[in-house]
Chain A
Amino acid sequence: MLQIAGLQIRVPSNLTRFVLFALLSVALMLLDKRGHHLQNIRAGLTVVFAPIQLIAAVPVRAGGAVVDFFRGDTAQREELERLRKERPLLFARLEKYEALAAENAHLRQLLGTSALVADKALAAELLEVASEPFRRTIVIAKGAKDGLYVGQPVIDAFGIRGQVTEVGVYQSRAILITDPDHAIPVQVNRNGLRAVAFGTGDADTVSIRYLTASADIREGDLLVSSGLGGGFPFGYPVAKVVKIVNNPNESFLDIVATPVAQLGHHKEVLLIWPSKSTTPPAARKPEAPLKPAATKKPPEARQPAPSKPPAASPPTAPTAAPTGPAATPKPEPTPAPPSPPAGEPMP
Protein backbone atom coordinates (compact mmCIF):
# COMPACT_ATOMS: atom_id res chain seq x y z
CA MET A 1 0.00 0.00 0.00
CA LEU A 2 3.01 2.21 -0.22
CA GLN A 3 3.46 4.77 -2.90
CA ILE A 4 5.74 3.65 -5.68
CA ALA A 5 7.88 6.72 -6.18
CA GLY A 6 9.05 6.92 -9.76
CA LEU A 7 12.75 7.89 -9.86
CA GLN A 8 13.28 11.10 -7.97
CA ILE A 9 10.10 12.79 -9.02
CA ARG A 10 7.64 13.45 -6.26
CA VAL A 11 4.39 11.64 -6.67
CA PRO A 12 1.66 14.26 -7.06
CA SER A 13 -0.78 14.39 -4.20
CA ASN A 14 -4.26 12.99 -4.41
CA LEU A 15 -5.81 16.43 -4.66
CA THR A 16 -3.42 17.54 -7.38
CA ARG A 17 -4.27 14.47 -9.40
CA PHE A 18 -7.97 15.05 -8.96
CA VAL A 19 -7.66 18.64 -10.13
CA LEU A 20 -5.61 17.55 -13.14
CA PHE A 21 -8.03 14.85 -14.18
CA ALA A 22 -11.04 17.05 -13.53
CA LEU A 23 -9.57 19.70 -15.82
CA LEU A 24 -8.90 17.01 -18.41
CA SER A 25 -12.53 15.85 -18.16
CA VAL A 26 -13.84 19.37 -18.57
CA ALA A 27 -11.57 19.90 -21.57
CA LEU A 28 -12.84 16.67 -23.11
CA MET A 29 -16.44 17.69 -22.54
CA LEU A 30 -15.93 21.10 -24.07
CA LEU A 31 -14.19 19.62 -27.11
CA ASP A 32 -16.88 16.99 -27.48
CA LYS A 33 -19.80 19.34 -27.04
CA ARG A 34 -18.65 22.48 -28.79
CA GLY A 35 -16.42 21.51 -31.61
CA HIS A 36 -17.17 17.89 -32.34
CA HIS A 37 -13.41 17.50 -32.58
CA LEU A 38 -13.56 14.11 -30.95
CA GLN A 39 -15.61 12.23 -33.53
CA ASN A 40 -12.64 10.24 -34.75
CA ILE A 41 -11.28 9.56 -31.29
CA ARG A 42 -14.68 8.43 -30.15
CA ALA A 43 -15.09 6.20 -33.17
CA GLY A 44 -11.70 4.63 -32.44
CA LEU A 45 -12.51 4.12 -28.78
CA THR A 46 -15.85 2.58 -29.70
CA VAL A 47 -14.09 -0.01 -31.81
CA VAL A 48 -11.55 -0.70 -29.04
CA PHE A 49 -14.25 -1.27 -26.45
CA ALA A 50 -16.72 -3.03 -28.73
CA PRO A 51 -15.73 -6.40 -27.17
CA ILE A 52 -17.25 -5.26 -23.87
CA GLN A 53 -20.54 -4.66 -25.64
CA LEU A 54 -20.30 -8.01 -27.36
CA ILE A 55 -19.68 -9.74 -24.02
CA ALA A 56 -22.68 -7.97 -22.57
CA ALA A 57 -24.78 -9.19 -25.48
CA VAL A 58 -23.73 -12.83 -24.97
CA PRO A 59 -26.27 -13.72 -22.24
CA VAL A 60 -29.09 -12.38 -24.36
CA ARG A 61 -28.01 -14.34 -27.40
CA ALA A 62 -27.29 -17.45 -25.36
CA GLY A 63 -30.68 -17.18 -23.70
CA GLY A 64 -32.32 -17.00 -27.11
CA ALA A 65 -30.35 -20.02 -28.30
CA VAL A 66 -31.35 -22.10 -25.26
CA VAL A 67 -34.99 -21.20 -25.68
CA ASP A 68 -34.79 -22.10 -29.36
CA PHE A 69 -33.12 -25.40 -28.56
CA PHE A 70 -35.98 -26.60 -26.39
CA ARG A 71 -38.59 -25.33 -28.73
CA GLY A 72 -38.76 -27.98 -31.41
CA ASP A 73 -37.00 -29.77 -34.22
CA THR A 74 -34.71 -28.09 -36.69
CA ALA A 75 -37.05 -27.65 -39.58
CA GLN A 76 -39.69 -26.06 -37.43
CA ARG A 77 -37.14 -23.81 -35.90
CA GLU A 78 -35.88 -22.69 -39.27
CA GLU A 79 -39.39 -22.09 -40.42
CA LEU A 80 -40.10 -20.10 -37.32
CA GLU A 81 -36.94 -18.10 -37.71
CA ARG A 82 -37.82 -17.27 -41.29
CA LEU A 83 -41.34 -16.22 -40.41
CA ARG A 84 -40.12 -14.18 -37.47
CA LYS A 85 -37.74 -12.33 -39.75
CA GLU A 86 -40.49 -11.70 -42.24
CA ARG A 87 -43.04 -10.51 -39.75
CA PRO A 88 -41.62 -7.10 -38.85
CA LEU A 89 -41.08 -6.32 -42.51
CA LEU A 90 -44.67 -7.11 -43.31
CA PHE A 91 -45.90 -5.15 -40.32
CA ALA A 92 -43.78 -2.22 -41.35
CA ARG A 93 -45.46 -2.16 -44.72
CA LEU A 94 -48.83 -2.49 -43.09
CA GLU A 95 -48.31 0.30 -40.65
CA LYS A 96 -48.48 2.90 -43.35
CA TYR A 97 -51.96 1.78 -44.19
CA GLU A 98 -53.79 3.67 -41.48
CA ALA A 99 -52.22 6.99 -42.34
CA LEU A 100 -52.81 6.24 -45.95
CA ALA A 101 -56.46 5.52 -45.53
CA ALA A 102 -57.02 8.82 -43.76
CA GLU A 103 -55.02 10.65 -46.33
CA ASN A 104 -56.92 9.02 -49.13
CA ALA A 105 -60.24 10.02 -47.67
CA HIS A 106 -59.17 13.63 -47.30
CA LEU A 107 -57.35 14.15 -50.51
CA ARG A 108 -58.64 11.79 -53.10
CA GLN A 109 -61.18 14.21 -54.47
CA LEU A 110 -58.63 17.01 -54.46
CA LEU A 111 -55.51 15.29 -55.60
CA GLY A 112 -56.64 11.99 -56.90
CA THR A 113 -53.30 10.69 -55.78
CA SER A 114 -51.42 9.60 -52.76
CA ALA A 115 -47.76 8.93 -52.85
CA LEU A 116 -46.18 6.66 -50.37
CA VAL A 117 -43.45 4.62 -51.85
CA ALA A 118 -42.17 1.48 -50.25
CA ASP A 119 -38.95 2.33 -48.44
CA LYS A 120 -35.86 0.19 -48.40
CA ALA A 121 -35.60 -1.55 -45.04
CA LEU A 122 -33.07 -3.60 -43.14
CA ALA A 123 -33.61 -5.61 -39.97
CA ALA A 124 -31.03 -5.17 -37.23
CA GLU A 125 -30.45 -7.01 -34.00
CA LEU A 126 -30.55 -5.06 -30.77
CA LEU A 127 -27.25 -5.41 -28.93
CA GLU A 128 -27.87 -3.21 -25.97
CA VAL A 129 -30.66 -1.19 -24.49
CA ALA A 130 -29.77 2.13 -22.92
CA SER A 131 -28.32 1.52 -19.56
CA GLU A 132 -27.09 4.99 -18.89
CA PRO A 133 -29.37 6.76 -16.50
CA PHE A 134 -31.05 9.89 -17.93
CA ARG A 135 -30.81 8.68 -21.53
CA ARG A 136 -32.82 6.46 -23.86
CA THR A 137 -30.58 4.93 -26.47
CA ILE A 138 -30.02 1.54 -28.06
CA VAL A 139 -27.10 -0.13 -29.78
CA ILE A 140 -27.84 -2.10 -32.91
CA ALA A 141 -25.76 -4.66 -34.74
CA LYS A 142 -25.49 -2.85 -38.06
CA GLY A 143 -23.01 -0.18 -39.01
CA ALA A 144 -21.27 1.74 -41.73
CA LYS A 145 -20.61 -1.45 -43.64
CA ASP A 146 -24.36 -1.85 -44.12
CA GLY A 147 -24.71 1.72 -45.32
CA LEU A 148 -26.18 3.26 -42.19
CA TYR A 149 -26.00 7.01 -41.81
CA VAL A 150 -26.46 9.48 -38.98
CA GLY A 151 -30.06 10.61 -38.73
CA GLN A 152 -31.45 7.45 -40.25
CA PRO A 153 -34.93 6.55 -38.99
CA VAL A 154 -35.22 3.43 -36.82
CA ILE A 155 -38.65 1.80 -36.70
CA ASP A 156 -40.23 -1.45 -35.62
CA ALA A 157 -43.35 -3.30 -36.57
CA PHE A 158 -45.53 -0.78 -34.76
CA GLY A 159 -44.07 2.63 -35.37
CA ILE A 160 -41.08 4.90 -35.20
CA ARG A 161 -38.53 4.13 -32.51
CA GLY A 162 -35.92 6.79 -33.05
CA GLN A 163 -32.95 7.67 -35.19
CA VAL A 164 -29.33 6.72 -35.60
CA THR A 165 -26.90 9.07 -33.87
CA GLU A 166 -23.57 7.32 -34.11
CA VAL A 167 -22.38 4.95 -36.80
CA GLY A 168 -19.59 2.51 -36.05
CA VAL A 169 -18.22 -0.02 -38.46
CA TYR A 170 -20.21 -2.97 -37.16
CA GLN A 171 -22.60 -1.40 -34.72
CA SER A 172 -24.40 1.85 -34.28
CA ARG A 173 -26.17 3.77 -31.60
CA ALA A 174 -29.66 5.09 -31.99
CA ILE A 175 -31.53 7.58 -29.85
CA LEU A 176 -35.13 6.70 -28.99
CA ILE A 177 -38.01 9.11 -29.36
CA THR A 178 -38.38 9.07 -25.57
CA ASP A 179 -34.88 10.42 -24.99
CA PRO A 180 -35.00 13.90 -23.48
CA ASP A 181 -32.79 15.17 -26.30
CA HIS A 182 -35.10 13.94 -29.04
CA ALA A 183 -37.90 15.68 -30.85
CA ILE A 184 -39.83 14.54 -33.89
CA PRO A 185 -42.22 16.48 -36.11
CA VAL A 186 -45.63 14.82 -36.10
CA GLN A 187 -49.17 15.49 -37.20
CA VAL A 188 -52.49 14.37 -35.87
CA ASN A 189 -53.62 11.62 -38.17
CA ARG A 190 -57.27 12.68 -37.90
CA ASN A 191 -56.89 16.23 -39.15
CA GLY A 192 -53.27 16.88 -40.03
CA LEU A 193 -52.61 19.29 -37.16
CA ARG A 194 -48.87 19.77 -36.94
CA ALA A 195 -46.98 19.37 -33.68
CA VAL A 196 -43.66 18.28 -32.28
CA ALA A 197 -43.27 15.28 -29.96
CA PHE A 198 -40.49 15.69 -27.41
CA GLY A 199 -38.91 12.86 -25.48
CA THR A 200 -39.17 13.07 -21.73
CA GLY A 201 -36.58 10.57 -20.54
CA ASP A 202 -39.46 8.52 -19.23
CA ALA A 203 -39.58 5.06 -20.79
CA ASP A 204 -43.05 5.28 -22.26
CA THR A 205 -44.09 8.88 -22.69
CA VAL A 206 -43.43 11.70 -25.07
CA SER A 207 -44.85 15.18 -24.59
CA ILE A 208 -46.46 17.36 -27.21
CA ARG A 209 -45.58 20.95 -26.53
CA TYR A 210 -46.56 24.34 -27.89
CA LEU A 211 -50.15 23.53 -28.76
CA THR A 212 -52.64 26.13 -27.55
CA ALA A 213 -55.94 25.35 -25.85
CA SER A 214 -57.80 25.90 -29.12
CA ALA A 215 -55.88 23.19 -30.94
CA ASP A 216 -58.05 20.36 -32.23
CA ILE A 217 -56.44 17.41 -30.49
CA ARG A 218 -58.15 14.78 -28.38
CA GLU A 219 -57.20 11.88 -26.22
CA GLY A 220 -56.78 8.77 -28.33
CA ASP A 221 -55.55 10.64 -31.38
CA LEU A 222 -52.85 8.89 -33.36
CA LEU A 223 -49.82 11.00 -34.16
CA VAL A 224 -47.93 10.10 -37.32
CA SER A 225 -44.65 11.48 -38.55
CA SER A 226 -45.25 14.54 -40.69
CA GLY A 227 -42.07 14.29 -42.71
CA LEU A 228 -41.26 17.95 -42.11
CA GLY A 229 -37.57 18.57 -41.70
CA GLY A 230 -36.79 15.69 -43.96
CA GLY A 231 -35.37 13.38 -41.31
CA PHE A 232 -38.27 11.00 -40.98
CA PRO A 233 -40.51 9.81 -43.79
CA PHE A 234 -44.15 10.83 -43.76
CA GLY A 235 -46.90 8.65 -42.39
CA TYR A 236 -45.33 6.33 -39.84
CA PRO A 237 -47.18 6.06 -36.51
CA VAL A 238 -45.32 7.74 -33.65
CA ALA A 239 -47.50 7.97 -30.56
CA LYS A 240 -51.02 7.96 -29.20
CA VAL A 241 -52.32 10.82 -27.10
CA VAL A 242 -53.25 9.56 -23.63
CA LYS A 243 -53.74 12.68 -21.58
CA ILE A 244 -54.44 16.33 -22.25
CA VAL A 245 -54.32 18.79 -19.36
CA ASN A 246 -55.49 22.32 -19.95
CA ASN A 247 -54.04 24.42 -17.19
CA PRO A 248 -55.41 27.96 -17.52
CA ASN A 249 -52.21 29.35 -16.01
CA GLU A 250 -50.11 27.98 -18.83
CA SER A 251 -50.08 29.28 -22.35
CA PHE A 252 -49.90 25.80 -23.85
CA LEU A 253 -51.64 22.49 -23.36
CA ASP A 254 -49.86 19.82 -21.41
CA ILE A 255 -50.19 16.77 -23.65
CA VAL A 256 -48.83 13.33 -22.82
CA ALA A 257 -48.60 10.62 -25.47
CA THR A 258 -47.39 7.03 -25.45
CA PRO A 259 -45.10 5.84 -28.23
CA VAL A 260 -46.72 3.30 -30.51
CA ALA A 261 -43.45 1.48 -31.17
CA GLN A 262 -42.51 -1.08 -28.57
CA LEU A 263 -39.49 0.74 -27.26
CA GLY A 264 -39.10 -1.65 -24.37
CA HIS A 265 -39.18 -5.00 -26.09
CA HIS A 266 -38.36 -6.80 -29.31
CA LYS A 267 -34.90 -7.91 -30.16
CA GLU A 268 -35.01 -6.60 -33.69
CA VAL A 269 -35.53 -3.16 -35.15
CA LEU A 270 -35.82 -1.98 -38.73
CA LEU A 271 -33.66 0.61 -40.39
CA ILE A 272 -35.23 2.36 -43.32
CA TRP A 273 -33.90 4.40 -46.17
CA PRO A 274 -36.74 6.77 -46.91
CA SER A 275 -37.29 7.21 -50.60
CA LYS A 276 -37.01 10.76 -51.88
CA SER A 277 -40.65 11.12 -52.76
CA THR A 278 -42.04 10.58 -49.29
CA THR A 279 -42.67 14.21 -48.50
CA PRO A 280 -45.75 15.42 -46.68
CA PRO A 281 -48.80 15.49 -48.90
CA ALA A 282 -49.17 19.27 -48.76
CA ALA A 283 -45.74 19.80 -50.25
CA ARG A 284 -46.08 16.99 -52.70
CA LYS A 285 -46.53 17.56 -56.37
CA PRO A 286 -49.16 15.48 -58.08
CA GLU A 287 -47.65 12.26 -59.21
CA ALA A 288 -48.70 9.17 -60.93
CA PRO A 289 -51.20 7.20 -58.87
CA LEU A 290 -49.17 4.70 -56.96
CA LYS A 291 -49.54 1.21 -55.75
CA PRO A 292 -51.86 2.08 -52.86
CA ALA A 293 -54.38 3.79 -55.06
CA ALA A 294 -54.14 1.06 -57.62
CA THR A 295 -54.47 -1.78 -55.17
CA LYS A 296 -57.14 -0.21 -53.05
CA LYS A 297 -59.57 0.63 -55.78
CA PRO A 298 -59.06 -1.87 -58.49
CA PRO A 299 -62.36 -1.34 -60.26
CA GLU A 300 -61.95 2.43 -60.67
CA ALA A 301 -58.31 2.28 -61.47
CA ARG A 302 -58.96 -0.29 -64.10
CA GLN A 303 -61.69 1.68 -65.78
CA PRO A 304 -59.58 4.30 -67.45
CA ALA A 305 -57.05 1.73 -68.45
CA PRO A 306 -59.21 -0.09 -70.97
CA SER A 307 -60.32 3.30 -72.24
CA LYS A 308 -56.83 4.02 -73.45
CA PRO A 309 -56.30 1.58 -76.28
CA PRO A 310 -59.62 1.83 -78.11
CA ALA A 311 -59.93 5.64 -78.04
CA ALA A 312 -63.62 5.01 -78.44
CA SER A 313 -64.39 6.05 -74.92
CA PRO A 314 -66.04 9.44 -74.88
CA PRO A 315 -68.43 8.29 -72.16
CA THR A 316 -65.67 7.16 -69.78
CA ALA A 317 -63.42 10.13 -70.30
CA PRO A 318 -65.83 12.69 -68.81
CA THR A 319 -66.40 10.55 -65.75
CA ALA A 320 -62.71 10.47 -65.09
CA ALA A 321 -62.38 14.15 -65.79
CA PRO A 322 -63.78 15.68 -62.59
CA THR A 323 -61.25 13.87 -60.46
CA GLY A 324 -58.45 13.77 -62.94
CA PRO A 325 -57.64 17.20 -64.34
CA ALA A 326 -58.08 18.96 -61.01
CA ALA A 327 -55.47 16.72 -59.56
CA THR A 328 -52.97 16.69 -62.36
CA PRO A 329 -52.74 20.02 -64.04
CA LYS A 330 -48.96 19.67 -64.33
CA PRO A 331 -47.32 17.97 -67.27
CA GLU A 332 -47.86 14.30 -67.09
CA PRO A 333 -45.19 12.78 -64.85
CA THR A 334 -45.15 9.10 -65.66
CA PRO A 335 -46.62 6.97 -68.35
CA ALA A 336 -48.33 3.94 -66.85
CA PRO A 337 -51.83 3.98 -65.41
CA PRO A 338 -52.74 7.68 -65.15
CA SER A 339 -55.09 7.88 -68.01
CA PRO A 340 -57.07 11.06 -67.26
CA PRO A 341 -54.51 13.34 -68.92
CA ALA A 342 -54.12 10.79 -71.64
CA GLY A 343 -57.78 11.28 -72.34
CA GLU A 344 -57.28 14.90 -73.39
CA PRO A 345 -55.26 14.44 -76.52
CA MET A 346 -57.58 11.69 -77.69
CA PRO A 347 -60.15 13.86 -79.38
Chain B
Amino acid sequence: MNLSSQSRSRLVIAATFLVALVLSILPWPVWTEQFRPDWVALVLIYWCMALPGRIGVGSGFFAGLILDVLYGSMLGENALAKSLIAFLTVHFHLQLRMFPRWQQAVVVLLLVAANNLLVLWIKHLAGASPSTWSYITPGIVSMLIWPWLFVILRDIRRHGNIS
Protein backbone atom coordinates (compact mmCIF):
# COMPACT_ATOMS: atom_id res chain seq x y z
CA MET B 1 0.00 0.00 0.00
CA ASN B 2 2.68 2.37 1.05
CA LEU B 3 4.85 1.39 -1.85
CA SER B 4 2.04 1.74 -4.35
CA SER B 5 1.11 5.22 -3.15
CA GLN B 6 4.78 6.10 -3.30
CA SER B 7 5.14 4.97 -6.87
CA ARG B 8 1.80 6.49 -7.82
CA SER B 9 2.88 9.90 -6.57
CA ARG B 10 6.13 9.51 -8.44
CA LEU B 11 4.08 8.85 -11.56
CA VAL B 12 1.98 11.96 -11.03
CA ILE B 13 5.07 14.14 -10.60
CA ALA B 14 6.64 12.63 -13.71
CA ALA B 15 3.41 13.33 -15.59
CA THR B 16 3.48 17.02 -14.67
CA PHE B 17 7.06 17.22 -15.93
CA LEU B 18 6.06 15.45 -19.13
CA VAL B 19 3.28 17.95 -19.73
CA ALA B 20 5.72 20.79 -19.09
CA LEU B 21 8.19 19.31 -21.58
CA VAL B 22 5.50 18.93 -24.24
CA LEU B 23 4.31 22.48 -23.63
CA SER B 24 7.82 23.79 -24.03
CA ILE B 25 8.22 22.32 -27.51
CA LEU B 26 4.63 22.73 -28.70
CA PRO B 27 4.71 24.57 -32.02
CA TRP B 28 3.41 28.14 -31.89
CA PRO B 29 3.65 30.99 -34.34
CA VAL B 30 7.20 32.28 -34.44
CA TRP B 31 6.47 35.72 -33.04
CA THR B 32 5.09 34.20 -29.83
CA GLU B 33 8.34 32.34 -29.19
CA GLN B 34 9.85 35.02 -27.01
CA PHE B 35 6.76 35.00 -24.81
CA ARG B 36 6.78 31.28 -24.16
CA PRO B 37 6.98 30.72 -20.41
CA ASP B 38 9.60 28.35 -19.08
CA TRP B 39 7.16 25.56 -18.20
CA VAL B 40 9.78 23.12 -16.99
CA ALA B 41 11.24 25.72 -14.63
CA LEU B 42 7.78 26.54 -13.25
CA VAL B 43 6.92 22.91 -12.52
CA LEU B 44 10.39 22.31 -11.12
CA ILE B 45 10.13 25.31 -8.80
CA TYR B 46 6.77 24.13 -7.52
CA TRP B 47 7.89 20.60 -6.71
CA CYS B 48 11.18 21.74 -5.22
CA MET B 49 9.24 24.04 -2.96
CA ALA B 50 6.59 21.49 -2.01
CA LEU B 51 8.76 18.37 -1.74
CA PRO B 52 12.35 19.49 -1.33
CA GLY B 53 13.28 16.07 0.03
CA ARG B 54 12.21 14.25 -3.12
CA ILE B 55 12.53 16.70 -5.96
CA GLY B 56 15.76 18.61 -6.08
CA VAL B 57 18.94 19.23 -8.01
CA GLY B 58 18.98 15.74 -9.55
CA SER B 59 15.46 16.04 -10.94
CA GLY B 60 16.31 19.48 -12.29
CA PHE B 61 19.39 18.10 -13.95
CA PHE B 62 17.53 15.31 -15.71
CA ALA B 63 14.63 17.54 -16.75
CA GLY B 64 17.17 19.99 -18.20
CA LEU B 65 19.00 17.18 -19.96
CA ILE B 66 15.79 16.03 -21.65
CA LEU B 67 15.16 19.63 -22.63
CA ASP B 68 18.63 19.76 -24.19
CA VAL B 69 17.87 16.66 -26.21
CA LEU B 70 14.51 18.02 -27.36
CA TYR B 71 15.93 21.44 -28.23
CA GLY B 72 19.00 19.98 -29.88
CA SER B 73 21.18 22.31 -27.87
CA MET B 74 24.54 21.46 -26.37
CA LEU B 75 24.05 18.65 -23.84
CA GLY B 76 24.34 20.05 -20.32
CA GLU B 77 23.32 23.63 -21.07
CA ASN B 78 19.80 23.51 -19.77
CA ALA B 79 20.78 20.74 -17.35
CA LEU B 80 23.09 23.16 -15.58
CA ALA B 81 20.55 26.00 -15.62
CA LYS B 82 17.77 23.80 -14.23
CA SER B 83 20.09 22.38 -11.58
CA LEU B 84 20.75 25.95 -10.49
CA ILE B 85 17.03 26.71 -10.28
CA ALA B 86 16.43 23.54 -8.26
CA PHE B 87 19.33 24.31 -5.94
CA LEU B 88 18.15 27.84 -5.21
CA THR B 89 14.55 26.79 -4.72
CA VAL B 90 15.40 23.94 -2.37
CA HIS B 91 17.78 26.17 -0.48
CA PHE B 92 15.14 28.83 0.09
CA HIS B 93 12.06 26.63 0.14
CA LEU B 94 11.10 27.55 3.71
CA GLN B 95 11.13 31.28 2.97
CA LEU B 96 9.38 30.75 -0.36
CA ARG B 97 6.51 28.90 1.27
CA MET B 98 5.93 31.83 3.61
CA PHE B 99 5.87 34.38 0.81
CA PRO B 100 2.54 35.69 -0.45
CA ARG B 101 1.73 34.52 -3.95
CA TRP B 102 2.80 37.71 -5.74
CA GLN B 103 6.13 37.69 -3.97
CA GLN B 104 6.67 34.09 -5.04
CA ALA B 105 5.91 35.20 -8.57
CA VAL B 106 8.64 37.81 -8.39
CA VAL B 107 11.09 35.15 -7.22
CA VAL B 108 9.98 32.99 -10.16
CA LEU B 109 10.77 35.90 -12.47
CA LEU B 110 14.24 36.19 -11.00
CA LEU B 111 14.88 32.46 -11.19
CA VAL B 112 13.78 32.17 -14.83
CA ALA B 113 15.78 35.25 -15.75
CA ALA B 114 18.83 33.74 -14.02
CA ASN B 115 18.21 30.51 -15.93
CA ASN B 116 18.12 32.35 -19.26
CA LEU B 117 21.12 34.49 -18.45
CA LEU B 118 23.11 31.38 -17.61
CA VAL B 119 22.08 29.71 -20.88
CA LEU B 120 22.90 32.86 -22.83
CA TRP B 121 26.26 33.08 -21.12
CA ILE B 122 27.09 29.44 -21.88
CA LYS B 123 26.14 29.96 -25.50
CA HIS B 124 28.44 32.95 -25.73
CA LEU B 125 31.27 30.98 -24.18
CA ALA B 126 30.63 28.19 -26.66
CA GLY B 127 31.03 30.62 -29.52
CA ALA B 128 27.44 31.13 -30.58
CA SER B 129 26.25 34.69 -30.90
CA PRO B 130 22.53 35.07 -30.27
CA SER B 131 22.46 38.76 -31.03
CA THR B 132 19.28 40.32 -29.81
CA TRP B 133 17.16 38.27 -27.56
CA SER B 134 15.46 39.40 -24.43
CA TYR B 135 16.09 36.98 -21.61
CA ILE B 136 13.55 38.74 -19.43
CA THR B 137 10.31 38.22 -21.40
CA PRO B 138 9.92 34.48 -20.66
CA GLY B 139 10.55 35.36 -17.02
CA ILE B 140 7.78 37.94 -17.02
CA VAL B 141 5.30 35.57 -18.67
CA SER B 142 6.33 32.83 -16.24
CA MET B 143 5.74 35.26 -13.39
CA LEU B 144 2.23 36.02 -14.63
CA ILE B 145 1.41 32.34 -15.00
CA TRP B 146 2.86 31.28 -11.64
CA PRO B 147 -0.18 32.04 -9.40
CA TRP B 148 -2.50 29.96 -11.59
CA LEU B 149 -0.06 27.15 -12.10
CA PHE B 150 0.61 27.09 -8.37
CA VAL B 151 -3.08 26.54 -7.65
CA ILE B 152 -3.36 23.79 -10.28
CA LEU B 153 -0.30 21.93 -9.06
CA ARG B 154 -1.34 22.30 -5.42
CA ASP B 155 -4.73 20.78 -6.26
CA ILE B 156 -3.01 17.95 -8.07
CA ARG B 157 -0.76 17.39 -5.08
CA ARG B 158 -3.61 17.43 -2.54
CA HIS B 159 -5.88 15.34 -4.68
CA GLY B 160 -3.21 12.75 -5.30
CA ASN B 161 -2.16 12.87 -1.65
CA ILE B 162 1.43 13.43 -2.64
CA SER B 163 3.79 14.37 0.12
Contact = CB atoms under 8 A, between A and B. Distances in A.
Given A29-B122, A134-B123, A134-B128, A60 B27 contact: yes
B3 to A, nearest CB: 13
A14 B52 CA distance: 9
Contacts of B77: 25, 29
Contacts of B119: 133-134
B11 interface: no
A133 B133 contact: yes
Interface stretch (B68-76, B99-107, B142-150): B68-76
A249 interface: no
B130 A25 contact: no
Interface in B54-81: 54, 56-58, 60-61, 64-66, 69-77, 79-80
A266 to B, nearest CB: 12
Contact of A56 (B27, B66, B69): B27
A26 B76 contact: yes
A135 B73 contact: yes
Chain B CB within 10 Å, residue with most, of A14, A45, A264: A14
Contacts of A2: 53
Q: In the A-B complex, list the 10 residue pairs whose CB atoms are closest, starting with the nearest.
A: A28-B76, A25-B80, A134-B130, A132-B71, A18-B87, A29-B76, A25-B76, A264-B30, A17-B57, A21-B61
Interface of A: 1-4, 14-15, 17-18, 20-22, 24-29, 31-33, 38, 41-42, 45-46, 49, 52-53, 55-57, 59-60, 126, 128-135, 137, 139, 165-166, 173, 180-181, 200-203, 263-264
Contacts of A128: 25, 27
Given A21-B83, A22-B80, A201-B132, A14 B90 contact: yes
B131 interface: yes
A202 B134 CA distance: 11
Given A26-B76, A33-B126, A133-B133, A18 B34 contact: no
Given A21-B79, A56-B27, A137-B71, 15 more contacts: A4-B53, A14-B57, A21-B80, A29-B80, A42-B69, A45-B66, A46-B69, A52-B22, A52-B25, A128-B27, A134-B120, A173-B72, A180-B131, A181-B128, A200-B132
A60 B144 CA distance: 26
Interface string B92-133: 000000000000000000000000100110110010111111
B163 interface: yes
8 contacts: A17-B57, A18-B57, A45-B65, A53-B70, A131-B24, A133-B135, A200-B132, A264-B31
Contacts of A202: 131-132
Where chain B touches its partner, the secondary structure class is: helix
B70 A17 contact: no
Contact of A203 (B22, B30, B52, B74): B30
B36 interface: yes
B140 to A, nearest CB: 13
B70 A137 contact: no
Chain A CB within 10 Å, residue with most, of B60, B77, B163: B77
Contacts of B122: 29
Interface residues of B, number: 58
B8 interface: no
A132 B36 CA distance: 9
Contacts of B29: 264
A33 B126 CA distance: 8
Interface string B13-37: 0000010011011111111011010
B53 A3 contact: yes
A29 B27 contact: no
Contacts of A38: 75
A99 B21 CA distance: 43
A43 to B, nearest CB: 10
Given A134-B133, A201-B132, A18 B27 contact: no
A32 B135 CA distance: 24
A46 B84 CA distance: 24
A56 B132 contact: no
Nearest to B138: A133
B71 A49 contact: no
B91 interface: yes
Contacts of B53: 1-4
A266 B21 CA distance: 24
A137 B132 CA distance: 17
A48 to B, nearest CB: 8
A119 B129 CA distance: 33
Contact of A32 (B36, B76, B87): B76
A201 B130 contact: yes
A18 B25 contact: no
